[in-house]
Structure 1
Amino acid sequence: MKTVAGPSDRVVVIGAGLSGLAAALHLTGAGRTVTVLERADHPGGRVGLYRGDDYEIDSGATILTVPGLIDEALAAVGATRESVGLRILPMAPAYQARFADGSGIGVYSDPDQMAAEITRVRGTAEATRYRRLRDWLRKVYEAEFMHFMDSNFDSPLDMVRDGEKRSALITLVRLGAFGRLGPKVGRLMGDERLARLFSFQALFAGMSPKQALGVYGAIPYMDTCLGVYYPEGGMRAVAEAMTRALTEAGGTVRFETEVIGIDRSGRRATAVRTADGRTLDCDAVVVTADIGSLERFGLRRRRGLRASPSAVVAHGTIPIEVTRRWPVRAHHTIDFGQEWERTFEEIAAAKGRGTLMSDPSLLLTRPALTDETLYIDRAEQHIDESGQLVDTVRYEPLSLLAPCPNLDAAPLDWDRLAPSYLRELLEVLERRGYQGISRHFRIDHLDTPRTWRERGMLAGTPFSAAHLFRQTGPFRTRNLVRGRDNIVLAGSGTVPGVGVPTVLISGKLAAARIVGDLRHAEARTPHAEAVAVSRKH
């Protein structure tokens, strides 16, 4: 494995997102002096927060899988969840899915619970099919995780030069993992709507299930078989805990510090310059900025990248007297439209051909149903359902996510379009039984592709480059920067890719590029433990 050239005692990490914090923890554990610079006033990056007048809400990812990767990063400096005050709860169901005819099903990671749920709604034959599908997904994940996701590549030829990687590659070929994910899941599952539950995750990789390779079965495996978790206090609690572990171990994190440039001598970075006029000397730099923002630091990004679809996300609060009448009570609800394949054709289209969903499939997130400390009591006079005058109204935080095309696929005027499109989405939900959402959802933050573009994200998407074959694995943007001896990339735009588990791995892989073998880290623990749990069933 190639590593940065020359000394690497002092490392500056640009960005306190999960990849930057993971890199910093692994580097600190390896004895480096680490300074993390973050332009926001809090850690988390895309796993950040929005502040309302009397509440906070996650501003990015709300789905946590493979929490062992957090443990691994903390363990690099001798910390544990307990030592940094992080509590992570398993969620059952991980999702509640609802279909266009009003029927629904819970998604459980426990195989017996999931089989029972499928038997309830579709019968024992489909439950048997589910177990076969689960076994196939497990085998794909096992072959892929250690040798492709959790591994640095110096060249695509590593897949055949390295004996273990070659063996894993042969296994994936035998499994049919280089065919298409959606059709494979459909054949194994049989029922089209149930198949959606184990293939919609391809969207996380920027692809439709119909187009995504079967190797991306690792994503629904993590999602539906290894379990979805919730960190108490919200996803932002993970970044806060990692920050505490880092600073207690001697690392430095500076917030509200924007990096405006990297000084270099020849091929080597020598210092990092900040907007407040300071210069920090360094021996190596980890850059976690979005792949669309690398030019800010004098770095070239790969041309011709195809971006993932984007999203419109509304954050706010709603009275619980409204939500208690809704047809679904779940932390995560996926409300599917009828036209499933057309949805992906619309939002994942090629350049200039994208359109908004004609029959939306939407994600509603209600974290207070898991964490009651997130409820908000507001002093408001109100007549309750029993006809009594009350002085306090209880609200819950609510996020609504609607996938949409990125700005390359559909260069829409979101300043003009956003308010009317949001009204349209709320009216769709109203018709589907979420009564009162269009009148009572108080929206404090609305993110659109323009939001993401203003933050420097590729084509206005928070999901970075799509995982086309030519943009995945050893073909993805490398974490070693060509023409720079001591600058390394981390984050969703580089290896291994998009998602909370993968960006945590990305930080570790970036650290390995600087220090070589991470002997302080038990690199296989999260994978081994997760698979052991799965194999019990």
Structure 2
Amino acid sequence: MGGRPVVVVGAGLGGLSAAMRLAGAGRDVIVVEARDVPGGCCGTANLGPYRFDTGPSVLTMPGVLAETFAAAGEEMDRWLPLRRLDPSYRLTYHDGSHLDVVPGEEAMAEQVRALCGAAEAARYVRFRRVLGEMFDVEWPAFIDRDMTRLRSLVHPYALARIAALGGFRSLDGLVRRHLTDDRLVKAHTFQALYVGLSPKRALGIYAVVAHMDTVGGVYFPLEGGMHAIPRAMAAVAEKAGAVIRYGVRATKIETDASGVAAVRLDTGERIATREVVVACDLHRAHAGLLPPGAGDWRLRRPRFSPSCLVMHFGLDRPLTGQAHHTLHFGKEWDSTFTALAAGRPQPDPSLLVTYPESDADAAPTGHTTLTVLEPTPNLTNGTRRDRLTSRLEERLLHRLADLGYDGLAGSPRFTVDPPAWERLGHTAGTPFALDHRLTQTAWFRPAARARRVPGLHFAGMHTAPGVGVPPVLISGRLAAERILGNPR
């Protein structure tokens, strides 16, 4: 240790990932976080005796998280024990049928066989193996890799193999090439919303997202909900020597002829440094925090993902037979994505219902919590929001009642809508950042290093690999490796 510290701006998952690796490698690290708790998007909120996760509810690829803890010299299981959800999802359809996404190829094939028949189950098994092959090609070449240089894209074999597997078709086209039952197609294409696009606009390469959760599995902390993840990461970073300063905002990154020189704080302090990792909302950072030389042509015409309306409920009873994650598909499909793309509320939205019954400390004994997410347009189209949220809330309550969730209208609740996401620091009122169209993917996504400002690095969902817990963790690792001088 010694010398000038590395300053990390933001204690979200990307910033904490970088801090853990840097501190684990012996570097002095100062993390500056404007909020009073770690987590960023992976946040928490209380309503009376109820506690809610306000960010991601789906954790896949736990090995990426375990590697982050190992880089700081710790075993993840000691700090953050996880369990695999079974089922990962319950998918319910408008015709009354449902499909449980369960661990194991044979068990999952049996679920498909019971719903769709033996022929479709055989097609599913073949498709599942295609997904595995696509993942094995894409992960090392384009996801788990530093994309700060254009030559990072030059992998002739990987590109040829992905093309042969259908990765450059639309996601919808790729899946329909292998599966024929619309219900099973929806089970493997709804993940397009994770990357901010409809299944007909998302590239087939994003079928790897379906592989991550339907094959790799979905996990959940044994205690403390999803917010336990950043709390454990922050504790390990501090144990490794990082200093985390909460309630302090970075206001300006100063430069000199050599590059980064210091970070100014809203306390009036000036931290001299040669290396900074900016792990907060990138567009807001460009509004004043970053020096002029940090401009990136990729941000000239940003395209943002849709947003969401999230309602959190405190329940005075448990729900019988409810899965941790239930996705209720609406009858409409293509028209819902068309509406989102046009900046209109979906006419018949699919809903993600999260019921973390195993999070025992989230509610008093005999009580539970419920969270419902409906995709909505972001704020870029200028739609008036003064009455829209109340109309969507009322519609959502009626829809939930029709689905069998009785009594929610009288339960304690609060709502997070696009204006609220914007107040929380998310540009365009979306917690999903930029969408993942081809021109905002891999090297075409905003650069993770400022070419004209040596020492200035970026992490988080605005940079490559992109949105989601594993990609954000990887972005922090890549920033740390560039600083340490050993990028993969």
Q: Same-fold call, TM > 0.5?
A: yes
Q: CA deviation at 1:236?
A: 0.8
Query: How does the TM-score come out when normalised to structure 1?
Result: 0.86
SS at match of 1:397: strand
Tell me which of 390, 409, 412 is aligned to 1:419: 390
Tell me which of 287, 307, 310 is aligned to 2:307: 310
Equivalent residue, structure 1, for 2:197 = 207
Whether 2:434 is the aligned partner of 1:440: answer: no
Cα RMSD for the two superposed structures? 1.7
CA–CA distance in structure 1, aligned partners of residues 371 and 295 of structure 2? 35
Whether 2:475 is the aligned partner of 1:480: answer: no
1:445-495 superposed Cα distances (whole Å, 9 cap, x missing partner): x21111222233232111111101011011111101132111101000001
Letter in 2 for 1:401: L
1:481-514 superposed Cα distances (whole Å, 9 cap, x missing partner): 1321111010000011000010000101111221
Whether 2:147 is the aligned partner of 1:176: answer: no
Is the Cα contact below 8 Å between 1:318 and 1:440 reproduced in 2? no
Letter in 1 for 2:145: S
CA–CA distance in structure 1, aligned partners of residues 478 and 4 of structure 2? 17
CA–CA distance in structure 1, aligned partners of residues 64 and 379 of structure 2? 33
SS at match of 1:183: helix
Tell me which of 90, 100, 112 is aligned to 2:106: 112
SS at match of 2:463: coil
Letter in 2 for 1:20: G
Is the Cα contact below 8 Å between 2:135 and 2:211 reproduced in 1? yes
Tell me which of 467, 473, 478 is aligned to 1:504: 473
Is the Cα contact below 8 Å between 1:292 and 1:456 reproduced in 2? no
Q: CA deviation at 1:9?
A: 5.2
Q: CA deviation at 1:99?
A: 0.8
CA–CA distance in structure 1, aligned partners of residues 188 and 246 of structure 2? 39
Whether 2:352 is the aligned partner of 1:363: answer: yes
SS at match of 1:112: helix
CA–CA distance in structure 2, aligned partners of residues 257 and 493 of structure 1? 22
Q: CA deviation at 1:153?
A: 2.4
Tell me which of 364, 377, 381 is aligned to 1:405: 377
What are the residue-to-residue correspondences of 1:198-277 with 2, within 5 Å? 198-232=188-222, 233-266=224-257, 268-277=259-268
CA–CA distance in structure 1, aligned partners of residues 233 and 18 of structure 2? 11
Is the Cα contact below 8 Å between 1:291 and 1:457 reproduced in 2? no
Q: CA deviation at 1:109?
A: 3.2
Tell me which of 290, 298, 306 is aligned to 2:281: 290
CA–CA distance in structure 2, aligned partners of residues 365 and 115 of structure 1? 25
1:126-151 superposed Cα distances (whole Å, 9 cap, x missing partner): 11111111111111111110111111
The number of residue pairs the alignment matches comes to 480
Letter in 1 for 2:289: F
CA–CA distance in structure 2, aligned partners of residues 267 and 292 of structure 1? 24
Query: How does the TM-score come out when normalised to structure 2?
Result: 0.95
Equivalent residue, structure 2, for 1:535 = none
Letter in 1 for 2:309: V
Is the Cα contact below 8 Å between 2:21 and 2:68 reproduced in 1? yes
Is the Cα contact below 8 Å between 2:70 and 2:76 reproduced in 1? no
Q: CA deviation at 1:8?
A: 8.5
Percent identical among aligned pairs is 38
Is the Cα contact below 8 Å between 2:421 and 2:430 reproduced in 1? yes
CA–CA distance in structure 1, aligned partners of residues 258 and 53 of structure 2? 39
What are the residue-to-residue correspondences of 1:133-172 with 2, within 5 Å? 133-160=127-154, 165-172=155-162
SS at match of 1:320: coil
Structure 1 alignment gaps of length 5 or more: 1-6, 378-393, 524-537
What are the residue-to-residue correspondences of 1:331-370 with 2, within 5 Å? 331-347=324-340, 349=341, 353-368=342-357, 370=358
